Amino acid sequence: MPAIITHHLFGEDASRRLPAGLVFGEEELLAFLLANQGPDPYYFCFSATPIAIQACHAFAAQMHEDHVVDALMAARESVSHLPQEDQGLGKAFVLGLLAHYLLDSEAHAFIQVQEDAICSADPDLADAHDQVHALIESELDTWMLWSARQQTIADAPAHADLKRTKRVSRVGGTIFSQVAWQVFGMTINPERYEGCLRDYEIVYRAIDPTGNPRGRMIAGAEQLGTRYSLLDALSHAAEAGEDCPSANLGCRPWVDPSTGEQRMDSFPDVFYNSLDKWSELVEVFIGGDREALASAIKRRYDGMTLA
């Protein structure tokens, strides 16, 4: 919420709105953009021991459900514990993580209300919330890529949004490992982050574009144990995203499940309104004001514990 491409596009715009000197040079920009994918790569861990896989998946879930502000503050604090030569890279990474949560917090209600409406309307989809959620995100990804760049995934594959250096993944893994231990009491090997990133790349190389032979084979295998394929839902169509029902381009009214207010925002409204809040959020985060940070992001996390 949202998915890989939309987060990357948001990160590119957010990076251009950062105060001068906060992110310096190509490697720090890579760190910012990679961290802007948040903890999502941990969901895709599959090439590890069963215990490590379970821990990575649990960590990703915790990072999206509980103690978001604590996690962000712990990530901020962790930068000072890095070697001096890595602290600039660490600061860029943590700012990218902040951008991930800003867009997530603003887009959560928009996507959730559509997911709930679709699953409620069709009894066959009552147990397919994850797949429906992924389909909405994928449709938004495809449309946003075309809207912003006039490109499809044939021109800009999703896996290409995970560019990094060894140093970036090492620093990022160290920060996530510290957050896992400090906030959730979980042991995540710092090197596991790079493994999750490789797995994330492998998955998108396999499932994109939607309907390719390898993707169909994977989806078929997945459906041996479940009615609907999550990986198929995650895949991106290769055609131009001219039309996008999920983006609410007609600004039809909807009720925000986290506040009860009626809204008419389209997804572009959500995306660009989030960008408008970015500079102020960065200022709050750098200043270390925990309460102000909680106030800035918590209203869109319906039911989440942000303490």
* pLDDT for res 298: 64
- Whose CA is closest to 53, among 175, 196, 206, 190? 196
Q: Distance from CA of residue 137 to its chain's centroid?
A: 10
- Please report, for residues 51, 97, 241, the alpha-carbon distance to residue 43 in angstroms, rounded to integers and kept in the order given: 14, 16, 26
Please classify residue 220 by burial: count the beta carbons closer than 10 Å to its beta carbon, then call 0-12 exposed, 13-18 middle and 19+ buried: exposed
Q: How far is CA 174 from CA 22, 46, 49, in A?
A: 20, 20, 20
Query: Which residues lie below 8 Å from residue 23, measured CB to CB, with a gap of 6+?
Result: 15, 29, 31, 32, 91, 92, 95
**d(Cα 123, Cα 248) in Å, to the nearest integer?**
24
57 Cβ contact partners less than 8 Å away, ≥ 6 residues apart: 42, 43, 45
pLDDT at 234: 97
Question: pTM (2 decimals)?
Answer: 0.95
pLDDT in 10s for each residue of the chain, 307 residues = 799 999 999 999 999 999 988 999 999 999 999 999 999 999 999 999 999 999 999 999 999 887 899 999 999 999 999 999 999 999 999 999 999 999 999 999 999 999 999 999 999 999 999 999 999 999 999 999 999 999 999 999 999 999 999 999 999 999 999 999 999 999 999 999 999 999 999 999 999 999 999 999 998 888 888 889 999 999 999 988 788 999 999 999 999 988 889 999 999 999 999 999 999 999 999 999 899 898 887 645 444 443 3
Residue 39 carries which DSSP code?
A: T
- The predicted pLDDT at position 48 comes to 97
CB 274 within 8 A of CB 106: yes
Q: At what angle do helices 213-222 and 192-207 cross, to 10 degrees?
A: 110
For residue 301, what pLDDT is reported? 47
**Tokens at 120, concatenated:** 């409620």
CA 163/CA 169 separation, integer angstroms:
10
The helix or strand, by DSSP H or E, that contains position 263, with its residue range, turns out to be strand 262-263
- Would you state the structure tokens that stand for residue 114, as one six-digit string? 């559509």
Angle, alpha carbons 146-119-274 (nearest 5°): 40
What pLDDT, on the 0 to 100 scale, is given for residue 303?
41
Query: Using one digit for the tens of pLDDT, what is the confidence trace for 182-210?
Result: 999 999 999 999 999 999 999 999 999 99
Is the distance from CB of 44 to CB of 199 less than 8 angstroms?
yes
Q: What is the pLDDT of residue 304?
A: 43
Give the sign of the dihedral formed by CA 26, CA 19, CA 71, CA 79: positive
Residue type, 107: A
CB atoms within 10 A of CB 130: 14
Residue carrying structure tokens 């604590």: 70
Q: Which helix (H) or strand (E) holds 255?
A: strand 254-255
